[in-house]
Amino acid sequence: MINQTWQFQNKFKSIIIRGGRVIDPANNFDGVADVLIVDGKIAAVEPDIKASADFEYNAAGKIVTPGLIDMHVHFREPGQESKEDFLSGSKAAVAGGFTTVATMPNTSPVVDNAALVRSMVNRAEDVGLINIKIIGAVTKGQNGQELAEMRDMIDAGAVAFSDDGHFDDNAKIFLNALDYLHDTGKIIICHEEETSLVKGGVMNEGKNSAILGLKGRPTVAEDIAVARDVLLAEYTGGKVHIAHISSKRAVEIVRDAKKRGINVTAEVTPQHLTMTDDLVNPSDASTKINPPLRTKKDCDACLAGLIDGTIDIIVTDHSPHAFEEKDREFIYAPSGFPGLETSIGVLFTELYHTGKIDLKTLISKMTCKPAQIFGLDSGTLSINSPADVTIIDPELVWTVDAKNFYTKGSHSPFIGRKFRGKVVATIVRGNLMKLNQ
């Protein structure tokens, strides 16, 4: 059993990462090289750098990438710190190789005004382990009825907007939001499940829900929502980003929309790429998420969409809950599970090692693509860019055990799974953090 604890503090003025396979999709680079970091910035990426540094990391046999970016996490601050907080979430991010995350605003209270955005930005700086970007709410209290003060939130540092957790049923308010943000270039991230069709539903509607007697959340609820938002993006010229896409038909709608030049982008999670509703066991709420785990044909469609560019980025939808909240009746347990610490393990094991996706495409979906879409200064190893770097051992075999999680979340359908591929070091703005080996 490998040691899965991390060392979080290592302030070196300069670092050389020697001999790794550097994959930097932003610069279309894939080859063995050294990476020199000085004063928190990338100073050089080339073979056999002669210079010395305060610390040398031997990355032979490892993969060196720009720091991973996750545009969809729930760090639960303010108000739900029993589920997660910025520190526990940041540690989980480091352990999963993520140097930048964006937090969703469905907290208590909802992050729907500039004062809260500013306080969360300050809180992120105080914790300081990783870069935490703040996503603001589209509507006040995420109530879907009244626009939140989004321009004020942009000034306070909000990176995007979302009423994630549910669909904004009121089409007029959503259209207004797109119009109102149009000149700012900011994106609305949309949770796509038409409310009346998923009310009371706890898993995918299909043969498994029919047999188990659990109420279903049909794919058509997602398809309708995606279709509406694509049409509103076309009509307004606004920017829509489809959160955690999971249905085959929804992928087709996005593909078609992109062909027609509509401003739409999309994300998918490792779980929706690799797991189906065959895994749902109503005596264990670990698999309960929204949108729910679908079927093999939906997973396959998501993967095809990821590879052909219909789906732009991979996110975790890291959604931790307290043990006692998930340790109960399936229909009463909240939806979501933590994903930061398992993401690379799942993706390498299920997609890379099986030959379903090449590394450059995979890494681009977690680095330069989200950076480009959301206007971040990271996601690249370009000279002088911030020294956010992730080092992955593609062959390291490990078993997922909640005891090793840094997140406060305890339930995950990946627990007990054996993965091949693990993040072994994460560098944020030049701060090297690494697995104790």
Partner 1 sequence: MLGKSIIAMESFSAEEIRLVLDTAYKMKQVVRRGSDKKLSNLRGKSIVNLFYEPSTRTRTSFELAGKYLGADVVSINSGTSSIVKGESLRDTLRTIEAMGVDAIVMRHKAEGAADFASRVVKPVIINAGDGAHAHPSQALLDLFTIEQHKGRLAGLKVAIVGDILHSRVARSDVYAMTKVGIEVHLAGPKTLLPRFFAFDGVTIHEQLEDAIKNADVINVLRIQLERQQAGLFPSTREYAQVFGINDERLSLAKDDVLILHPGPQNKGLEISSEVTYCDRSAIQEQVQNGVAVRMALLDLTLNGGAK
**Which parts of this chain interact with partner 1 (CB under 8 A)?**
205-207, 209-214, 216, 218, 281-284, 324, 327-332
**Could you give the angle at the alpha carbon of 325 between the alpha carbons of 319 and 331, nearest 5°?**
90
> Which residues does 50 contact at the CB level (< 8 Å), separation at least 6?
none
Whether 27 and 42 have beta carbons less than 8 Å apart is answered as no
CA distance 347 to 339: 11
CA distance 23 to 9: 25
Residue 267: other Cβ atoms inside 10 A: 26
Q: How far is the CB of 172 from partner 1 (least distance, A)?
A: 24
Q: How far is the CB of 298 from partner 1 (least distance, A)?
A: 14
Q: How far is the CB of 410 from partner 1 (least distance, A)?
A: 14
Across-strand partners of 217? 204
- Cβ proximity to partner 1: between 141 and 282 the closer is 282
- Cβ proximity to partner 1: between 276 and 364 the closer is 276
Q: How far is the CB of 85 from partner 1 (least distance, A)?
A: 23
Q: What is the DSSP letter of 12?
A: -
Cis peptide before 105 (omega within 30 of 0): no
Phi, psi of 113 (to 5 degrees): -150, 165
Cis peptide before 66 (omega within 30 of 0): no
Q: What is the DSSP letter of 217?
A: E
Q: Which residue has the tokens 């809260």?
A: 116
Taking Cα atoms as reference points, which of 86, 98, 152, 151 lies closest to residue 122?
Answer: 86
- Cβ proximity to partner 1: between 13 and 207 the closer is 207
Tokens of 110: 């909802």
> Which residues does 334 contact at the CB level (< 8 Å), separation at least 6?
288, 321, 325, 326
Q: How far is the CB of 221 from partner 1 (least distance, A)?
A: 13
Q: How far is the CB of 212 from partner 1 (least distance, A)?
A: 6
| Chain centre distance of CA 125 | 20
48: left (phi over 0), alpha (psi -120 to 50) or beta: left
- Cβ proximity to partner 1: between 183 and 329 the closer is 329
- Cβ proximity to partner 1: between 190 and 224 the closer is 224
418-to-95, 393, 422 alpha-carbon distances in Å: 17, 15, 11
Sheet hosting strand 68-73, strand order edge to edge: 68-73, 98-103, 131-136, 160-162, 188-190, 240-242, 264-268, 313-314
Whether 229 and 303 have beta carbons less than 8 Å apart is answered as no
Q: How far is the CB of 216 from partner 1 (least distance, A)?
A: 8
- Cβ proximity to partner 1: between 128 and 282 the closer is 282
- Cβ proximity to partner 1: between 115 and 210 the closer is 210
- Cβ proximity to partner 1: between 235 and 332 the closer is 332
317 has catalytic annotation? yes
Whether 97 and 103 have beta carbons less than 8 Å apart is answered as no
Q: Active-site residue among 164, 223, 229, 317?
A: 317
Whether 317 and 339 have beta carbons less than 8 Å apart is answered as yes
CA diameter of the chain? 66
- Cβ proximity to partner 1: between 88 and 204 the closer is 204
Q: Which residues are catalytic?
A: 317
